[in-house]
Amino acid sequence: MANGFRRFLINFRELFTREEDLYQAEKIVKRLYRDSGSRELKRTLLYLRRFHRRLILRFTLVSSLILIAILVLAGMMISHALGKSAGKGQGADSSGTVTTAPVITETDSSEETPAEAETEDLTVREVLLSFTGDCTLGTDENFDQSRSFNAYYSENGGAYFLERVRDIFAGDDLTVINMEGTFTTSEDRAEKTYAFKGDPSYVNVLTTASVEAANLANNHSSDYGKQSYDDTVQILESNGITTFGYDEVKVVGAGGVKIGLTGIYELRDHMGRTDQVKENIAKLKEQGAEVIVVVFHWGTEKETEPNENQVALAHLAVDEGADIVVGHHPHVLQGLETYKGRTIAYSLGNFCFGGNSNPSDKDTMILQAKFTLTGEKVSEREITIIPCSLSSARDYNNYQPVVLAGDEAARVRSKINSLSQGLDVHPQED
């Protein structure tokens, strides 16, 4: 028995050493990924993180077993000592036989035996999601092309645009954008004021920045006809970026958790989307989603307050099972609301936005949501606001979002808090 326990302790020490080695390997791969932006390194990093989590769980389990073994051993020693003490006080009959009172055990047949009882799954998992505002990775053919997104791409390449936020996206488990435009070579421009498209090669703006999912339920995803929508889906999916929107829902694995994604286009018939909200969330549940994300394209451009339809549909989504609701279209920030413990971000504004060379309001943010699951259910939710500007240049749009710091970060955070007043939430203190 002593030899077996010694081997157990040696295995425990080896498990601790493996955890240290894995932590160092994860740090090295993360540093290499940040330098290169390689998707293979990103996959390796995600694998190491999942494996690290499993190892930590094993480490915790082994530690618990050691504690249980010590308690059991102590209990046996105490029981043995008590048994000896009791034996000294027992009486004997005339034949010298020791007599003891009979032991009677009652069994409730209605209770399950340990073998029959199901063990509750208390495995703890965490997943970190990042959300951005509108990403228009291209331009309108009627814009001044010398100041356009396309001109900056020609001069700087694809990695330039999101390089100042890439580390944030690389550090999460899933980054979700609103793809407000098309990747296509189609010339069939829709008859509308603004129509956006980018060359299909522009997809590397996203692939070099660790973006994994894109909502297409918006008013610019078919700017060059149905062909442009199909082209965009094909380009994104073939480059490892999950697309969703309208009736197309997706469940993706991130951080060992099944994330359900649905996008709803509200602008055409407003509350007429009620049934679609219910049906899409039901489909995600049927497909085994553990965390459900609902993205809406809604509201009024330049309005900083959500309208009645936005509030009603957001509440409906939560009532039906959404864990977080995110909105786009107004091109400016709107407030956050907490409803039944779930966060609703009514508008994230613009982000990497080729639709305007100098927007008057450049404030934006990255919204991060960390979900902790105990067993199969979400047990904790944590929201983080990262104040940003859609341009790293102050007086014009250079199409390069940047995280704000100091007074500017405090200003945007205060602005979001102010917009959230009356929506039953205090998103974040300064």
Render 241-291 in DSSP notation, one character per residue.
-EEEBTTB-EEEEETTEEEEEEEEE-TTTGGGGHHHHHHHHHHHHHTT-SE
Instruction: Give the pLDDT score at 76.
Output: 72
Instruction: Give the pLDDT score at 11.
Output: 58
User: What would the mean pLDDT of 365-376 be, rounded to a whole number?
Assistant: 97
Instruction: Give the pLDDT score at 113.
Output: 46
Residue 255: CB atoms within 10 Å: 21
d(CA 272, CA 253): 31
More confident residue, 17 or 65: 65
| C-beta of residue 259 within 8 angstroms of C-beta of residue 129 | yes
More confident residue, 296 or 9: 296
Write the pLDDT tens digit of every residue in 247-284: 999 999 999 999 999 999 999 999 999 999 999 999 99
Q: Which two tokens stand for residue 45?
A: 């990093």
User: What would the mean pLDDT of 243-247 be, rounded to a whole number?
Assistant: 98
| C-beta of residue 229 within 8 angstroms of C-beta of residue 221 | yes
Q: Which two tokens stand for residue 243?
A: 């697309």
Write the pLDDT tens digit of every residue in 36-82: 666 667 667 676 666 666 666 666 666 666 777 777 777 676 766 66
d(CA 133, CA 308): 21
Decide if pLDDT at 354 tops 50.
yes
Amino acid at 9: L
Could you give phi then psi for residue 115, rounded to 5 degrees? -70, -30
Write the pLDDT tens digit of every residue in 285-298: 999 999 999 999 99
Helices and strands counted in the chain (H then E): 9, 18
User: What would the mean pLDDT of 214-225 be, rounded to a whole number?
Assistant: 98
Instruction: Give the pLDDT score at 5.
Output: 53
Question: What angle, rounded to 10 degrees, do the helices at 308-320 and 274-286 form?
Answer: 30
| C-beta of residue 201 within 8 angstroms of C-beta of residue 161 | no
User: What would the mean pLDDT of 85-109 be, rounded to a whole number?
Assistant: 37
